[in-house]
A and B are shown apart, each in its own frame.
Chain A
Amino acid sequence: AQSVTQPDIHITVSEGASLELRCNYSYGATPYLFWYVQSPGQGLQLLLKYFSGDTLVQGIKGFEAEFKRSQSSFNLRKPSVHWSDAAEYFCAVVFSGAGSYQLTFGKGTKLSVIP
């Protein structure tokens, strides 16, 4: 079955440290890939997306992600974390065989930032 895995439920980093959030998917073809961020009591904000082409994509707020076909991964990175980055991060995938193009989400990774 098609699925999205975020293996880390909770990550804590110090402000200024680098960050990498992991995402793997299970699917035979290349899906459309997204990262969203959610602050408490708010909806989901799109950070970045990958459809095709350059496998390193840049997003908002200084985030980037790299698509690795061989590993079926789409990990999110940021070189220097700010306290305002504390939130929950969701990797999401559109599997092209899904007729309605709905998003399939990972379970999310909650990021805490130590000042």
Chain B
Amino acid sequence: GAGVSQSPSNKVTEKGKDVELRCDPISGHTALYWYRQSLGQGLEFLIYFQGNSAPDKSGLPSDRFSAERTGGSVSTLTIQRTQQEDSAVYLCASSLGQGSQPQHFGDGTRLSIL
């Protein structure tokens, strides 16, 4: 079956531009997570969606970052006024539920800010 799909796989943009990253979770998975992977910081949690509940935004590094999840499925992570420190691989994961349910990851979007 289809796994977690992320697009684009690579994105290069100029500093100050806005970017949108997309995640299609595994069908039927109610939980969706965004993580960021960078050389200096490793893998960091950004945001979590579960069903129709309010998202947990506690990992977002600044107010330039936002995310939404439409219809309980597709999610978009938006970074406004990008900075060079935003350069990283952004990974999306989904799971059947909470807690012990394992998270399944997409291949990520590699974001490079010039």
* A interface with B by C-beta (< 8 Å): 32, 34, 36, 41-46, 49, 51, 90, 92, 94, 96, 99-108
Q: Flag whether B1 is at the interface (Cβ < 8 A).
A: no
Q: B residues engaging A (CB < 8 A)?
A: 4, 31, 33, 35, 42-43, 45, 48, 50, 56, 58-59, 91, 93, 98-100, 102-108
Complex contacts, B4 vs chain A, CB 8 Å: 43
- Least CB distance from A61 to B in Å reads 16
When distances are taken between beta carbons in the complex, the residues of chain B under 8 Å from A101 are 31, 48, 98-99
Are B99 and A43 neighbours in the complex by a CB distance under 8 Å? no
Q: Determine if A94 and B105 form an interchain contact, defined as CB atoms under 8 angstroms apart.
A: no
Q: Tell me, in angstroms, the Cα distance from A105 to B105 when the chains sit together.
A: 14
- What is the interface of chain B mostly: helix, strand, loop, or mixed? strand
- Tell me if A96 and B102 are in contact (CB < 8 A): no
Alpha-carbon separation in the docked complex, A100 to B48 (Å): 6
Q: Are A43 and B48 in contact (CB under 8 A)?
A: no
Q: Please, which residue of chain B has its CB at the minimum distance from the CB of A46? A: B102
Distance in angstroms between the alpha carbons of A4 and B58 in the assembled complex = 19
Contact A103 B99 (CB under 8 A): no
CA distance A101 to B61 in the complex (A): 18
Q: Are B33 and A102 in contact (CB under 8 A)?
A: yes
- B62 smallest CB distance to A (angstroms): 18
User: A43: which B residues are within 8 A, CB to CB?
Assistant: 4, 91, 105-108
What are 26 of the A-B contact pairs (CB < 8 Å)? A32-B99, A36-B105, A42-B107, A42-B108, A43-B4, A43-B91, A43-B105, A43-B106, A44-B91, A45-B105, A46-B102, A46-B103, A49-B100, A99-B56, A100-B45, A100-B50, A100-B98, A101-B48, A102-B48, A102-B56, A102-B59, A103-B43, A103-B103, A104-B45, A105-B42, A106-B42
